[in-house]
Amino acid sequence: MPAPVHSSSQSRYLLMIRLPRTTEVRIEDRFLPSVGATRPPMGYHISIVGPFYWASDNVEPSLSRTNSACAQASPLALRIRGVDVFENAPDDCGVFLHVGPVRPLRALRERLLAALGEAITPQYHRVGPYRPHVTIGLNLPSRVGQALLQSGKQPFRARFAADEVWLMEQRPQSPWRPLLAFCLGSAANGSERAPRRLDVEHIDG
């Protein structure tokens, strides 16, 4: 993984799509019995932007732009299909589920990045194209990662709707917590819907 550009003394943030609880249960039943499989503290999710840091303490304009960007997008019909592994470093790998279709997720990410602009600083400088995925195992020895990959050789497929983007916060030495949910798409009358406030109970489904 690339070196972080900020210190661990700052709060960091993430824009993500949270998987429905029914889909999470299917993933848990299928993969958690396998060695190396884990459920992230914030639940199974698709990272869209981040982790990142706010460049200023005045975040209200950025939150407003984020809400507008989500309102201009549309709810997504997503699917999970297939398991794969990526190598972070020698003997350090992650196992993930492919998510598609990729094009609308990349478009949503680009829309949000354009809206946020210089208001955020990414925690990591990443290379290569954005690949939407759901992580089911992280920082694993290669042999464990390969074993987990083999456990997913039987086809695993799921479909679900995504109609919100969540803003998560992690304060120093604290777990991730949900802050706001931004609606994808506008209201029936064409107006933007206000962000929905979240709390820790939402992570537990």
Dihedrals phi, psi of 50, to nearest 5 degrees: 115, -175
Q: Which residues pair with 160 in a beta bridge?
A: 78
Q: Is 18 exposed, middle or buried (0-12, 13-18, 19+ CB in 10 A)?
A: buried
On the question of pLDDT at 85 being above 80, the answer is: yes
pTM for this entry: 0.90
The pLDDT value recorded for residue 3 is: 47
Least confident segment among 44-53, 58-67, 106-115, 147-156? 147-156
The pLDDT value recorded for residue 89 is: 78
Mean pLDDT in residue range 73-86: 92
pLDDT tens per residue, range 69-78: 999 999 999 9
State the average pLDDT for the chain.
89
42 C-beta neighbours (distance < 10 Å), count: 19
pLDDT tens per residue, range 151-194: 766 788 999 999 999 999 999 999 999 999 999 999 888 899 99
Mean pLDDT in residue range 144-149: 76
On the question of pLDDT at 7 being above 70, the answer is: no
Mean pLDDT in residue range 139-160: 80
